[in-house]
Amino acid sequence: MRKVWIDAGHGGKDPGAVGNGLQEKDIVLVLSKGIKQRLESDYEGVQVLLTRGMDVFHELRDRTAAANKAGADLLVSIHCNAGGGAGGFESFRYTNASAASKSLQDVLHKEIMAALKAFAVTDRGQKAANLHMVRESKMPAVLTENLFIDVAAGAAKLKRQDVINALIDGHVTGIAKYLGLKKREAAATVSDKVTVIVNGKRIADGKLESGVTYVPLRAVGEALDAKVGWEKETKTATLTKF
């Protein structure tokens, strides 16, 4: 079982970046919970652990300590940006990052940008910085900055569900690709077709809807040598056996 640690930045008394009617802590919590739901439902052999699943505050040292103690295979810290002029998406690894962290950043960044392609989001690049979440994590770790809350165009995108879904998809696909996760097989579709046999003879199929079986009346009538009538005004069907 592979363990993925998703860290929703800020929370509780710390709203993170604020602007255009949005708070960073709210956006990143939605993204984090969406990543967990999608990864666990779409892929086999993966458990997603969250720093927070609600609006609470955790110190940085407690976040990395919990991820390290859990023995997570990778960590992704989710954030939104501010103060970046034209806005866009960027990702960070530690300045002295391991080859594994560089590989995770490369895969994750590319998949997120691919998911955002339809939304004209500027690629600000893969960067390195001395950030606590990527420095103190004992596993491959990347911090993503998902658009700019204080840039009107970025905030407008973050208010759209299709953009939120794209950000979730990009993170999920990148993590799954890095870990080599196998997609779950789609559940077999339950057929609503009903086999209808009259006097030992199979006729046209019927249909099952909400526990009710519907059969083709004319085909049943013909199989019984009966006459089928239809009254248009009253919407009445009749079956008369001669």
Other CB atoms within 10 A of residue 186 CB: 7
Query: 145 an active-site residue?
Result: yes
Residue among 136, 145, 185, 209 flagged as catalytic: 145
Query: For 158, left (φ over 0), alpha (ψ -120 to 50), or beta?
Result: alpha
End-to-end CA distance of the chain: 68
Asked if residue 19 lies in contact with residue 155, where contact means CB atoms within 8 angstroms, the answer is yes
Separation between Cα atoms, residue 149 and residue 158, nearest integer Å: 8
Taking Cα atoms as reference points, which of 173, 211, 217 lies closest to residue 196? 217
Q: In what order do the strands lie in the sheet with 206-209?
A: 193-194, 206-209, 212-214
Phi, psi of 171 (to 5 degrees): -65, -45
| Nearest-10 crossing angle of helices 161-179, 99-115 | 150
Q: Strand ranges (DSSP E) for 99-169?
A: 123-129, 141-148
Asked if residue 24 lies in contact with residue 93, where contact means CB atoms within 8 angstroms, the answer is no
What type of residue sits at position 73?
D
Residue numbers annotated as active site? 145
